[in-house]
């Protein structure tokens, strides 16, 4: 291909491009490349390549048929970095594997010794076209990089059984190809399940208690602080879908129990599992997977031998490392012996074929024969195929250089995929230097012992489960397990500290995604350290440093278990400050996933005592605010007010943000206690001290306060303004709070301001379309982000608008609102929701900000009874009116005056009624279109005294 017809390639970050976008298409084989959009398709299926691999492909395409030197590739693909040649070789290997280079005898990328690489293909430059639209079917199946061989019969059975049977298990020994068969089956079944296909890989998991949590993530369900099973049942109940569960054997009891439960609750769910043993539950259909077929005698007839899948697999994999491997009849006989020696086990064949370039065919057979005689001795009790696979792994391991052996052992400490940075942080110690690691990794990749995932911008490596188990055994034999785990745990701690800093600064937009990828490693590190008293200090550090991750992923139920274990460590008992920090986190975790239980309260009380003992002001503020939060949610406003007054004892003048936060919390307590004038004065005093509102986000994370400071302050200001009768200003401020929270994209702050002000004020102001819109947003966000505290409010808010809004879905019909803060909110919005217990609290003066309105509701109930007690009702209304005036709550004063004036008017006291209501109405300077003020205006117009002149 003439390079002048191809635009010069410049490395760039892969970006999503809207479909459809037409451009010149470059084709070779089954592949179509859209260079400008950086898209590659194999037939109609998108091919996922890493950034560097795609850069290399585009350069080779630009000079198709010509040799591109290694120096040119390095300079073009890494223009701003000095990179060793080994990096290029790793990415070339990944690109070859992604393109299926070597399959069906097809060669795409040819290595030209001492010169470089050549894309040896015929290029077709197609007309302008747009890439195909992505499939609408939901699935998360990985891209198939190689074709499946010799499984036609079992594939046909699985394609028939899986849509018919609820549970099908593919069972076989390690390395036999269970995953390949299951994924190919799922791929061919795409489109047959209405809600698609999802893959759950259990290989990285070590604790069966987290299977349902990981499954929720696979199904794109929001994390929940409690048991995820009820949410899974609801989600799957009416869905016709296939769930593929891979690598079940090490968690067989847990997945068997979960599968049985899911299948009983979800009648349209189908499951396809892979395991080394059956699940042994009702309805399971077991498909035993045997080795690939191979000739049982030494055949020299080429065409006959090539019909056996074991032979086909060896030749295809051999082509991946030896460009010109085309066996003649004699060489084919050697291949037959190799496959016989390896019992047709796919993984063993792939490992052996990877050594062809360094050993040659006959030396390869000789090595296998001599090594196997030694390696299988002493393991006579093992099954024959287990012996073969173990012997193949032993043989492959022995052929590695010492540095590659060390690297393989130590890299097995990772549970899942890892980057080169991670490998350098964990593996090099002792006699293995960091400079030796990259060549060792390249050797492991070339020998098929280490796999490459190039689907992201950052290249990641991973071990197959069978290889990882083998390598971990070698790690134990080398007596390196503890030291490798220590390096791994220390690296996890470094990552958590880095993540915490980014979280506090809101400096990484991909924070959640990157941290979520580290979750399996974090679990392993904490569990390892907790199990060893000598490393309890490390376990505590990991537990403390990782708090943002558990919080943002809404895994506080699991996190609380680690916190409890950390608190039981002797190391904690020797440090009051460590105990305080853990108790604070435990109190916060329990509040969000359990509520205001006695245990939650005790955690904050214990933390407060320890903070005072240590004279730790930050800890005192956190503990006090935790206790205040519980008291506010309970509706115990007097206790919250007393706690707010404790902030005065802490001198925050030298720390402006903490001073502002403590003042805001005091104003919050005053507001709910019913002291609106004092609360507003306090807020006004900090208005000019707030940090720059244009900051990306100003969440005081280390205080345990989960809301942006501006959003929280504006939300409180809006509530106070509304109670003081300034409904238009309140609405504007509430909108500003919501806009700020949305702009910084802080989900918890959005939920907070919607729940406390945005929805409530729109409802009271009679802006019902806006209120319904905000309620819908609140429902979506609390469910998506598992903001449990506010999620519990949504069903009650939805009842206000039944049947105008859909209250189905994740929210069951709630009972009568409790006699706490949430009950006060609902009852002041719709009087019929006021429970006797709530009204009794109001009569005792315990409902703070809502007391005047709830007393008015009590009086209305007295008047609505058949034998109404007008004297008692009037007395209660007078009390409500007096409290509203004392609190500076003009809106409650208007409502109480309206009810009392209507009572007097019905008794013939028209002049008194008008004289009471008119002065209150005249206090309003805005909000004349809101329901309360508009109604009073209409009454006064009707009641206006007739002039005698």
Do the beta carbons of residue 294 and residue 339 sit within 8 Å? Answer: yes
pLDDT for 846 equals 94
Q: What is the pLDDT of residues 270-325, one digit of tens each?
A: 999 999 889 999 999 999 888 888 887 765 566 778 889 998 888 888 877 666 67
pLDDT for 347 equals 85
Distant-in-sequence, close-in-space partners of 309: CB < 8 Å, separation ≥ 6: 149, 150, 151, 292, 293, 294
pLDDT for 455 equals 67
Average pLDDT, integer, range 333-342: 87
Do the beta carbons of residue 552 and residue 576 sit within 8 Å? Answer: no
End-to-end CA distance of the chain: 104
pLDDT for 563 equals 95
Task: Looking at mean pLDDT, say which of 10-24, 344-358, 395-409, 566-580 comes out highest.
Answer: 395-409
**What is the CB neighbour count within 10 angstroms for residue 780?**
14
Give the CA-trace dihedral at 827, 629, 706, 772, to 10 degrees: 0
Distant-in-sequence, close-in-space partners of 575: CB < 8 Å, separation ≥ 6: none
Residue 688 has pLDDT above 80, yes or no: no
Average pLDDT, integer, range 696-721: 73
> If 0-12 CB within 10 Å is exposed, 13-18 middle and 19+ buried, where does residue 682 land?
buried
Nearest by Cα to 92 from 454, 355, 449: 454
The chain-wide mean pLDDT, for the chain, equals 83
Do the beta carbons of residue 734 and residue 726 sit within 8 Å? Answer: no
pLDDT for 375 equals 43
79-93, 456-470, 534-548: segment of lowest average pLDDT: 79-93
Average pLDDT, integer, range 186-191: 86
pLDDT for 326 equals 75
Average pLDDT, integer, range 49-78: 85
Q: What is the pLDDT of residues 609-641, one digit of tens each?
A: 999 998 888 888 889 888 998 998 888 999 998
Fill in the DSSP letter of residue 226. S
pLDDT for 379 equals 42
DSSP per-residue string spanning 852-879: HHHHHHHHHHHHHSTT--HHHHHHHHHH
Q: How far apart are CA 538 and CA 529, in angstroms?
A: 6
Average pLDDT, integer, range 668-695: 82
Residue 190 has pLDDT above 50, yes or no: yes
Q: What percent of the chain has pLDDT over 90?
A: 41
Residue 913 has pLDDT above 90, yes or no: yes
> How is residue 19 written in tokens?
């479909």
Three-state secondary structure string covering 893-944:
HHHHHHHHHHHHHHCCCHHHHHHHHHHHHHCCCCCCCCHHHHHHHHHHHHHC
Helix (H) or strand (E) holding 40: strand 39-42
> How is residue 97 written in tokens?
């594997």
Residue 155 has pLDDT above 70, yes or no: yes
Residue 509 has pLDDT above 70, yes or no: no
Do the beta carbons of residue 445 and residue 437 sit within 8 Å? Answer: no
Residue 23 has pLDDT above 70, yes or no: no
> How is residue 703 written in tokens?
């205080």
Q: What is the pLDDT of residues 240-278, one digit of tens each?
A: 999 999 999 889 999 999 999 999 999 999 999 999 889
Nearest by Cα to 249 from 209, 215, 278, 284: 278
Average pLDDT, integer, range 339-367: 84
pLDDT for 228 equals 86
pLDDT for 130 equals 52
Fill in the DSSP letter of residue 699. B
CA 172 to each of CA 178, 187, 343, 727, 796: distance values in angstroms, whole numbers, following the listed order:
7, 20, 14, 70, 52
Between 708 and 724, where is the model more confident?
724
pLDDT for 533 equals 93
pLDDT for 610 equals 94
Q: How far apart are CA 111 and CA 120, in angstroms?
A: 10
Q: How far apart are CA 583 and CA 569, in angstroms?
A: 13
373-377, 785-789, 828-832: segment of lowest average pLDDT: 373-377
CA 833 to each of CA 133, 661, 837, 839: distance values in angstroms, whole numbers, following the listed order:
51, 34, 11, 11
Helix (H) or strand (E) holding 72: helix 70-77
**What is the CB neighbour count within 10 angstroms for residue 820?**
18
pLDDT for 136 equals 37
Residue 70 has pLDDT above 50, yes or no: yes
Residue 735 has pLDDT above 80, yes or no: yes
HSE value, Cβ hemisphere, 13 Å, CA-based, for 786: 24
Between 75 and 370, where is the model more confident?
75
Fill in the DSSP letter of residue 680. H
**What is the CB neighbour count within 10 angstroms for residue 301?**
11
Q: How far apart are CA 823 and CA 213, in angstroms?
A: 32
pLDDT for 28 equals 81
Q: How far apart are CA 340 and CA 169, in angstroms?
A: 27
Average pLDDT, integer, range 858-866: 89
Residue 204 has pLDDT above 90, yes or no: no
Helix (H) or strand (E) holding 272: strand 269-275
pLDDT for 529 equals 96
pLDDT for 703 equals 46
Residue 5 has pLDDT above 50, yes or no: no
Between 360 and 266, where is the model more confident?
266
pLDDT for 34 equals 82
């Amino acid at each position: 291909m003439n390079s002048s017809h191809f635009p010069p390639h410049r490395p760039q970050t892969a970006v999503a491009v809207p479909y459809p976008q037409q451009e010149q298409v470059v084709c070779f084989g089954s592949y179509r490349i859209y260079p400008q959009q950086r898209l590659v398709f194999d037939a109609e299926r998108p091919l996922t390549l890493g950034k560097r691999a795609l850069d290399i492909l585009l350069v080779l395409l630009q000079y198709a048929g010509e040799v591109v030197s290694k120096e040119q590739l390095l300079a073009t693909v890494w223009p701003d970095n000095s990179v060793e040649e080994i990096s290029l070789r790793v990415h070339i290997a990944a690109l070859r594997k992604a393109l299926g280079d070597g399959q069906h005898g097809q060669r795409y990328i040819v290595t030209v010794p001492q010169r470089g690489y050549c894309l040896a293909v015929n290029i077709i430059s197609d007309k302008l076209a747009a890439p195909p639209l992505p499939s609408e079917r939901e699935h998360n199946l990985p891209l198939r990089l190689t074709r499946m061989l010799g499984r036609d019969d079992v594939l046909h059975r699985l394609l028939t059984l899986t849509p018919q049977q609820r549970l099908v298990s593919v069972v076989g020994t390690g390395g036999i190809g269970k995953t390949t068969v299951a994924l190919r089956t799922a791929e061919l079944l795409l489109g047959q399940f209405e809600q698609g296909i999802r893959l759950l890989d259990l290989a990285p998991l070590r604790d069966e208690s987290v299977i349902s949590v990981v499954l929720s993530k696979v199904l794109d369900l929001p994390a929940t602080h409690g048991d995820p099973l009820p949410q899974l049942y609801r989600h799957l109940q009416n869905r016709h879908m296939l769930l593929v569960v891979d690598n079940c054997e090490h968690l067989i009891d847990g997945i068997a129990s979960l599968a049985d439960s899911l299948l009983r609750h979800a009648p349209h769910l189908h499951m396809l599992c892979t395991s080394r043993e059956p699940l042994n539950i009702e309805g399971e259909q077991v498909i035993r997977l045997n080795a690939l077929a191979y000739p049982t005698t030494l055949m020299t007839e080429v065409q006959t031998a090539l019909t056996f899948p074991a032979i086909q697999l060896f030749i295809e994999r051999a082509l991946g490392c030896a460009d010109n491997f085309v066996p003649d009849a004699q060489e084919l006989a050697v291949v037959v012996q190799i496959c016989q020696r390896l019992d047709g086990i796919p993984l063993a064949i792939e490992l052996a074929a990877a050594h062809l370039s360094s050993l040659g065919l006959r030396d390869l057979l000789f090595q296998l024969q001599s090594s196997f005689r030694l390696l299988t001795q002493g393991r006579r009790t093992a099954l024959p195929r287990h012996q073969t696979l173990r012997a193949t792994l032993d043989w492959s391991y022995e052929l590695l250089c010492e540095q590659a052996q060390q690297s393989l052992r130590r890299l097995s400490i990772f549970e899942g995929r890892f980057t080169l940075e991670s490998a350098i942080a964990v593996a090099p110690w002792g006699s293995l230097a960091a400079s030796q690691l990259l060549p060792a990794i390249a050797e492991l990749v070339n020998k098929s012992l280490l796999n490459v995932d190039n689907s992201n911008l950052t290249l990641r490596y991973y071990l197959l489960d069978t290889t990882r188990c083998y390598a971990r055994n070698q790690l134990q034999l080398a007596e390196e397990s503890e030291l490798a785990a220590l390096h791994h745990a220390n690296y996890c701690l470094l990552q958590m500290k880095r993540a915490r800093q980014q979280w506090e600064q809101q400096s990484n937009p991909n924070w959640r995604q990157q941290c979520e990828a580290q979750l399996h490693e974090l679990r392993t590190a904490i569990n390892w350290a907790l199990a060893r008293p000598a490393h309890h200090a490390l376990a505590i550090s990991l537990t403390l440093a990782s708090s943002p991750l558990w919080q943002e992923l809404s895994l506080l139920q699991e996190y609380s278990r680690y916190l409890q274990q950390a608190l039981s460590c002797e190391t904690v008992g020797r440090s009051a400050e460590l105990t305080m920090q853990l108790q604070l986190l435990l109190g916060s975790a329990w509040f969000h996933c359990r509520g205001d239980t006695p245990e939650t309260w005790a955690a904050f009380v214990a933390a407060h005592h320890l903070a005072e003992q240590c004279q730790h002001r930050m800890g005192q503020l956190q503990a006090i605010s935790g206790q205040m939060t519980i008291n506010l949610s309970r509706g115990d406003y007097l206790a919250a007010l007393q706690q707010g007054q404790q902030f005065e004892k802490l001198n925050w003048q030298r720390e402006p943000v903490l001073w502002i936060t403590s003042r805001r919390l005091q104003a919050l307590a005053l507001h709910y206690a019913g002291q609106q004038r004092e609360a507003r004065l306090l807020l006004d005093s900090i208005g000019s001290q707030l940090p720059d509102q244009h900051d990306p986000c100003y969440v005081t994370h280390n205080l345990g306060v989960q809301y942006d400071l501006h959003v929280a302050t504006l939300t409180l200001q809006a509530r106070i303004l509304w109670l003081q009768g300034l409904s238009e200003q309140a609405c504007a401020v509430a909108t500003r709070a919501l806009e700020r929270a949305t702009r910084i994209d802080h989900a918890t702050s959005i939920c907070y301001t919607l729940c406390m002000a945005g929805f409530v004020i729109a409802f009271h102001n009679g802006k019902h379309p806006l209120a319904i819109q905000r309620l819908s947003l609140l429902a979506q966000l609390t469910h998506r982000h598992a903001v449990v505290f506010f999620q519990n409010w949504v069903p009650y808010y939805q009842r206000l608008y039944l049947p105008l809004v859909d209250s189905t879905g994740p929210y069951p019909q709630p009972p009568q609102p409790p006699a706490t803060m949430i009950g006060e909110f609902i009852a002041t919005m719709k009087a019929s929701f006021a429970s006797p217990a709530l009204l009794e609290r109001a009569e005792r003066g315990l409902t703070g900000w809502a007391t005047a309105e709830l007393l008015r509701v009590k009086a209305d109930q007295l008047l609505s009874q058949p034998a109404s007690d007008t004297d008692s009702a009037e007395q209660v209304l007078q009390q409500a009116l007096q409290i509203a005036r004392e609190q500076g709550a003009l809106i409650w004063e208007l409502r109480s005056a309206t009810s009392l004036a209507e009572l007097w008017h019905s008794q013939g006291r028209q002049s008194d009624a008008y004289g009471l209501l008119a002065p209150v109405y005249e206090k309003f300077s805005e909000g004349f279109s809101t329901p309360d003020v508009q109604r009073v205006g209409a009454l006064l117009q009707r009641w206006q005294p007739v002039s005698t002149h």
